[in-house]
């Protein structure tokens, strides 16, 4: 989008996480980032998960961005209309099983020239990868808040809440959808 300039930094003290699965062991988490727009900077919540292994070239322990987490099996209906559309278009057969980490937009694009898999294929790739490395370091050093009630619904409602947070000019939902739109349009 023409008014979107990109991620300019993270709020490290905002990192909160919880165990998602024990076998394989994976964590889920939220981090606030600063995103610069033509009108100024907004603080936006992004969702990440820690990889349990090296499937699809993923690095064990590295944190990867997700749109959210599938709350029930079938078509995408648990997110906003726009996010449901993006996930339907970027997911094989347009549906997924309950508990699926909705990461398909970040794996889209020309796979042979993509470089780092799982961090988008465009201008945000390096910043998203940098956040993933930062979250790994914060996690390994115990610098996060443990939120025991954090689950799929908690993650999804946090990133799509239709409310202005942190004195932003726009709602978290609008800012998050615009960020995902920028990722999707680069595929």
Is pLDDT above 60 for 3? no
Place 111 in a pLDDT band, splitting at 50, 70 and 90: low
Give the Å distances, CA to CA, from 31 to 10, 28, 115, 158, 175: 7, 10, 24, 11, 14
Residues 10-46 have pLDDT tens digits of: 999 999 999 999 988 899 999 999 999 888 999 999 9
CA dihedral 105, 33, 156, 19 (to 10 degrees): 100
Report pLDDT for 109: 61
Residues 93-105 have pLDDT tens digits of: 999 999 999 998 8
Task: Tell me how far apart the terminal alpha carbons of the chain are, to the nearest angstrom.
Answer: 14
CA dihedral 107, 66, 134, 20 (to 10 degrees): -120
The pTM score is 0.92
More confident residue, 57 or 159: 159
């Amino acid at each position: 989008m023409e008014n979107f300039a990109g991620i300019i930094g993270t709020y490290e003290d905002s990192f909160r996480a919880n165990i998602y699965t024990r076998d394989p062991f994976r964590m889920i988490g939220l981090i606030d980032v600063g995103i610069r727009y033509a009108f100024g900077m907004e603080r936006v919540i992004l969702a990440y998960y820690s990889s349990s292994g090296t499937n699809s070239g993923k690095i064990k322990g590295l944190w990867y961005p997700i749109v959210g987490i599938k709350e029930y099996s079938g078509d995408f209906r648990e997110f906003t209309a726009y996010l449901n559309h993006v996930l339907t278009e970027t997911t094989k057969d347009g549906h997924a099983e309950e508990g699926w980490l909705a990461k398909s937009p970040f794996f889209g694009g020309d796979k042979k020239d993509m470089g780092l898999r799982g961090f988008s294929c465009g201008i945000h790739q390096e910043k998203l990868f940098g956040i993933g490395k930062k979250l790994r370091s914060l996690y390994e050093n115990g610098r996060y808040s443990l939120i025991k009630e954090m689950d799929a619904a908690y993650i999804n409602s946090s990133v799509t809440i239709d409310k202005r947070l942190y004195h932003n000019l726009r709602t978290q939902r609008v800012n998050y959808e615009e960020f995902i739109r920028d990722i999707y349009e680069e595929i």
